[in-house]
Amino acid sequence: MDFRLEFIPQPFELKIKHSEKLFLIGSCFTEQIGAKLSHHKFRTIENPNGILFNPLSITQSISSYISNKQYTEADLFFHNEIWGSWDHHTKFSSIHKAECLSKINHSQQQAHDFLQQTDWLLITLGSSFVYMLDKVRAVANCHKVPTDKFDKILLTAEQIMNELQIMIAELQVFNPGIKIIFTISPVRHLRDGFIENNRSKANLITAVHQLTEQCKAVYYFPAYELVIDDLRDYRFFAEDMVHPNYQATNYVWEKFIYACINEEAKLLMKEINSLKAAFHHKPFNPESNQHNTFLLTNFKKAEELKLKYNYLELEDLLSYFKSATK
Report the share of the chain in percent with pLDDT over 70: 99
Average confidence (pLDDT) over 55-78: 97
Strands (E), the chain: 21-26, 43-46, 76-79, 82-85, 120-125, 129-133, 137-139, 150-154, 179-184, 218-220
119 and 164: one domain?
A: yes
User: How many distinct structural domains can be found in the chain?
Assistant: 2
Average confidence (pLDDT) over 75-90: 96
242 and 289: one domain?
A: no
What's the pLDDT at 326?
Answer: 56
Residue 322 pLDDT level (bands cut at 50, 70, 90) = confident
Residues 238-290 have pLDDT tens digits of: 999 999 999 999 999 999 999 999 999 999 999 999 999 999 998 888 888 89
Final residue of a structural domain among 261, 283, 300: 261
Residues 267-277 have pLDDT tens digits of: 999 999 999 99
Residue 80 counted as domain residue: yes
Give whole-number Cα distances, 258 to 66, 119, 220, 232, in Å: 31, 19, 14, 20
Final residue of a structural domain among 212, 230, 261: 261
Report the share of the chain in percent with pLDDT over 90: 89
Q: Are 42 and 17 contacting, i.e. CB atoms less than 8 angstroms apart?
A: no
Average confidence (pLDDT) over 148-153: 94
Which residue, 133, 183, 175, is CA-closest to 25? 183
CA distance 95 to 82: 5
181 and 66: one domain?
A: yes
128 and 55: one domain?
A: yes
Sign of the dihedral defined by the CA atoms of residues 159, 162, 164, 166, in that order? negative
247 and 313: one domain?
A: no
Final residue of a structural domain among 222, 238, 261: 261
Sign of the dihedral defined by the CA atoms of residues 158, 160, 163, 167, in that order? negative
Q: How many C-beta atoms lie closer than 10 Å to residue 279's C-beta? A: 14
- 164: containing domain: 21-261
255 and 275: one domain?
A: no
pTM of the model as a whole: 0.94
